Amino acid sequence: MNRKSLALFLISAAGLCATAPIALCQELFRLPDGPREIKKPDASPKRGYYTVVPLKEGATKVEDIINQSTTGTTIPLWGYGVVSPLDNKSYSGQMVGRAPFFHGHRSTSVQAYLVPVALTFDDTNTVFDPTAPDACIGNDTVMNVTVSSPMFQNASFTMNQANVGTTQYVDAFQRANFWGYVAGTSYHTLLTLKTLPKVSVSVGTTAGFTSVSNFCGYYGELDYNVWDSYVQNTLIPSLKAQGVGPTDLPIFIFDSVVMYGNSDPNDCCILGYHGSYTPSNVLQTYSVTNFDTAGDFSPDISTISHEIAEWMNDPLGTNATPAWGHIGQVTGCQNNLEVGDPLSGTFFPSITMNGFTYNPQELAFFTWFYRLSPSFGAGGLYSNNGTLTSGQGACS
């Protein structure tokens, strides 16, 4: 039973838990159900975009989070300060890893947990399971294809004619991002991968619905607000027994399920996001990503590459920049260091490995956001495949 055909029945969580081990019962959850069904949008074209859950104002102070990083209580972080020539203002922020600006460049690793989420939508009993064979990718599984991808496996990368090394894609980007400082060094920021058993979630009719793909099978649409509340308050705490905690990056992966914002199906479609919060006053970061096999949105690892790069460059979601916009997914102006947003829908050259052709997203350099000239990014450019050739001017 998989998402490419409508399921004929749904095993209830209560019935399964009656005979299952406690650990399995803890993984089963039902998103809200109720008498009011959501009103589905019309069939107008849908546009994919990405978002972020920034650290809430008034949460744990950044100074305390930096101290947590120093003592190894949360992920490794380094801080920066820069004056932008655009407005002569000072900006500061935090990134994952260690600073690239000094001698003695270090290689840093963060433990990542890839967590497959199998979603059963009550409106049709259709199951979207990243661990099940998917006919849209040759009966391989989303989990297998993702684990075998350059997100977690080494590949050789040339960015703007600079050989940035054989490594993971986001690490290669980060090396290119600060190439003027790290060329010829052992500077790396890597993910060490563990996979966890799938989490099974039933989606009530007030929390999501299924749609017919224009290309292959079906895709699901899920209420982003309901889902993220579940992630922070139930899902991440439930994974503590399996080792997940503040020093790690849990990545929750869907097979062809997108989200809609503001509990409004017309505000669609969120393809992925990264977030941070401070349970017990300790920083916990995480990411949610879709692997689209239905063909209606950005392909394969484009979403996870977007989100993990943004997590690495803006882990708290609070790194401020001069205003920029009218590019990528941004129709107005925004002022944060989200390295994927300016180039949403623009891809790095495809990479074929382990029998699959992958399409990571192209990403914007640090120097583009702060309008630094010359750029110390690879090739003296402002993105890792040369689409951005200069820092953007003022945004209005």
Instruction: Report residue 30's pLDDT band, with 50, 70 and 90 as the boundaries.
Output: confident
What does 266-331 look like in DSSP terms, one character per residue? TSEEEEEEEEEE-GGGS-EEEEEEEEB-SSSSSBTTHHHHHHHHHHHH-TTS--EEEEEEEETTEE
Q: With 0.85 as the threshold, say if the pTM is over it.
A: yes
**pLDDT beyond 70 at 243:** yes
How much is the pLDDT for 21?
33
**Mean pLDDT across 77-83:** 96
How much is the pLDDT for 18?
34
**Mean pLDDT across 52-73:** 93
**pLDDT beyond 60 at 10:** no
**Mean pLDDT across 240-253:** 97
* 150 vs 172: CA distance, rounded Å: 10
How much is the pLDDT for 38?
61
Query: What's the whole-number average pLDDT of the chain?
Result: 90
How much is the pLDDT for 304?
98
**pLDDT beyond 90 at 247:** yes
Pure H helices in 33-148: 62-70, 142-147
Dump pLDDT digits (tens) for 116-155. Answer: 999 999 999 999 999 999 999 999 999 999 999 999 999 9
How much is the pLDDT for 105?
87
How much is the pLDDT for 42?
57
How much is the pLDDT for 11?
28
* 391 vs 1: CA distance, rounded Å: 50
**pLDDT beyond 70 at 14:** no
| CA-closest candidate to residue 214, choices 134, 294, 293, 270 | 294
Dump pLDDT digits (tens) for 311-346. Answer: 999 999 999 999 999 999 999 999 999 999 999 999
Q: Say if strands 218-223 and 268-277 run parallel, antiparallel, or are unpaired.
A: unpaired
pLDDT cut 90: percent of the chain above it:
85
Instruction: Report residue 102's pLDDT band, with 50, 70 and 90 as the boundaries.
Output: confident
| Candidate from 56-60, 74-78, 89-93, 220-224 with smallest mean pLDDT | 56-60
**pLDDT beyond 50 at 25:** no
| CA-closest candidate to residue 290, choices 176, 180, 128, 166 | 128
The H or E element containing residue 370 is helix 366-370
| CA-closest candidate to residue 24, choices 36, 11, 34 | 11
How much is the pLDDT for 135?
95
**pLDDT beyond 80 at 8:** no
Dump pLDDT digits (tens) for 177-223. Answer: 999 999 999 999 999 999 999 999 999 999 999 999 999 999 999 99
**pLDDT beyond 80 at 160:** yes
pLDDT cut 70: percent of the chain above it:
89
